[in-house]
Chains A and B, each alone.
Chain A
Amino acid sequence: EAEVAQSPRYKITEKSQAVAFWCDPISGHATLYWYRQILGQGPELLVQFQDESVVDDSQLPKDRFSAERLKGVDSTLKIQPAELGDSAMYLCASSSEPTTLKNIQYFGAGTRLSVL
């Protein structure tokens, strides 16, 4: 069964350092999402890509976060500099072309970030 791959699974860093997360969506999925999930809460969308283009980054803290999907396949989410409040699970999801009828997003296992 095809899965969304994410790495690393865990990342510990000190504040003010740079961190990067990688995501490989399910093959053929044009839409890719990055979410942040704080412990005990639901995922919150950070950025959405359609192929290589950003279609929604309204919740992405652009002063320190950046995301790219250069070839429209895999994607990288970067934080620089990391702050204590960035400690969370970072989830990647992908979907085939969302339609007016459905939008099933398939999630990876996530990267658990701890900022010390």
Chain B
Amino acid sequence: GESVGLHLPTLSVQEGDNSIINCAYSNSASDYFIWYKQESGKGPQFIIDIRSNMDKRQGQRVTVLLNKTVKHLSLQIAATQPGDSAVYFCAERTQGGSEKLVFGKGTKLTVNP
């Protein structure tokens, strides 16, 4: 069935370092993936998305990589800042089904000054 999970529940980095947050998915029929950032007490905030016909997509300080061979998704944050501290979720949508997004459990990123 559909399943989205994360390799690491927590990640701690130094300010200015690059961060890499990983996500494994199990449904090879998923055609669309999206990353969200959730700060404490707030709703998830859209970061970046990628379609399954792409391997890489870049935004402002963020890059998403998709490896369909091993069903792996990653979010790279360049020059991590204290304001990046949050929980990051990946979500997938399965082709041919409803437009439902299935979310993983999240990775908590802590940026140390």
A102-116 at interface with B (beta carbon < 8 Å): 102-110
The chain B residue with its CB closest to the CB of A41 is B105
Interface size class of A (residues with CB under 8 A): 20 to 34
Contact indicator A103/B43 (Cβ below 8 Å):
no
- Interface size class on chain B is 20 to 34
Measuring CB to CB, which residues of chain B are less than 8 angstroms from any residue of chain A? 4, 31-32, 34, 36, 41-46, 49, 51, 89, 91, 93, 98-101, 103-106
Contacts of B98 in A (CB 8 A): 48, 55-56
Q: Which single member of B32, B46, B51, B103 contacts A42 (CB below 8 Å)?
A: B103
Closest beta carbon of chain B to A115's beta carbon, Å: 19
The B interface is mostly helix, strand or loop, or mixed, namely: strand
A107 x B45 contact (CB < 8 A): yes
Assess the A45–B101 pair: CB atoms within 8 A: yes
Q: Name the CB-closest residue of B to A103.
A: B99
